[in-house]
């Protein structure tokens, strides 16, 4: 892990030293941008929405899209807090004394990996052939298991779990492991165990709960 270790100081100096409030604002703005582009180049091209626009009934969807922008900061703050707490508990169990604020900031920085698939959705529907409907857009997630199936033939309870298991989620796990490794400056192997036994375990328990609770 010497290759990863040599970038530790660079991460601490260039990324981890950034103001948390400013970085949170940047992450929100990146999501806002991806939503705006998706609305502009994907949703507005869906035939059903064009019909609603002609009928003057598009205000309902406009309200829905507007609420997305309000929900994003709340959702991200909740996600970062929950993820940081889970990893903090895992770190404590392995004797790694990382503070909650350190982990919250690290989780926020690593969230950048999920901006890529959001922008990838826009690019995919821009270049892909066909005339997608709303359900095609909702069911699609780049490099995820859902793309190996015909979502229309699946029980709808499986759509979210198959979307959630994707390459970007795996990269996120690796980034969390790397972040703990850099912050603790201890063993890489223990950093892997911390993420797998905390965030990883919670991730799969959540998917199992979702499948059992879905009606």
166 three-state secondary structure = strand
Please say if the pLDDT value at position 47 is more than 50: no
Q: What is the pLDDT of residue 127?
A: 83
Residue given tokens 């004797």 in the structure block: 95
Going by C-beta distance under 8 Å and a sequence separation of 6 or more, which residues neighbour residue 8? 181, 182, 185
User: What is the spatial distance between Cα 89 and Cα 96, in angstroms, rounded to a whole number?
Assistant: 10
Per-residue model confidence as pLDDT tens digits over 75-132: 999 999 999 999 999 999 998 989 999 999 999 999 999 999 999 998 998 887 567 7
Q: How much of the chain exceeds pLDDT 70, in percent?
A: 87
Please say if the pLDDT value at position 171 is more than 90: yes
* pLDDT (average), residues 132-146: 87
51: confidence class by pLDDT, cuts 50, 70, 90: very low
Q: What is the 3-state secondary structure (H, E, C) of 65-93?
A: HHHHHHHHHHHHHHHHHHHHHHHHHHHHH
Please say if the pLDDT value at position 59 is more than 60: no
Please say if the pLDDT value at position 206 is more than 80: yes
Label residue 120 exposed, middle or buried (CB < 10 Å: 0-12, 13-18, 19+).
middle
């Amino acid at each position: 892990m010497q290759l990863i270790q040599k970038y530790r100081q660079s991460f601490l100096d260039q990324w981890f030293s950034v103001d948390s409030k400013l970085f949170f604002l940047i992450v929100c703005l990146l999501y806002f941008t991806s939503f705006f582009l998706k609305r502009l180049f994907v949703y507005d091209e869906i035939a059903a929405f064009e019909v609603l626009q002609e009928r003057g009934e598009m205000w309902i969807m406009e309200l829905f899209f507007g609420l997305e922008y309000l929900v994003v900061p709340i959702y991200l703050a909740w996600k970062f807090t929950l993820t940081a707490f889970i990893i903090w508990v895992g770190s404590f169990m392995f004797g790694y004394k990382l503070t909650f604020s350190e982990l919250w900031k690290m989780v926020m920085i690593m969230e950048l990996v999920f901006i890529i698939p959001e922008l990838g959705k826009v690019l995919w529907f821009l270049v892909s052939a066909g005339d997608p409907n709303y359900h095609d857009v909702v069911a699609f997630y780049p490099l995820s298991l859902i793309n190996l199936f015909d979502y229309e033939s699946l029980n709808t309870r499986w759509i979210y779990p198959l979307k959630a298991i994707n390459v970007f989620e795996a990269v996120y796990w690796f980034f969390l492991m790397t972040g703990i490794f850099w912050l603790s400056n201890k063993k890489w192997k223990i950093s892997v165990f911390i993420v797998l036994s905390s965030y990883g375990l919670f991730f799969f328990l959540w998917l199992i709960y979702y499948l059992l609770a879905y009606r």
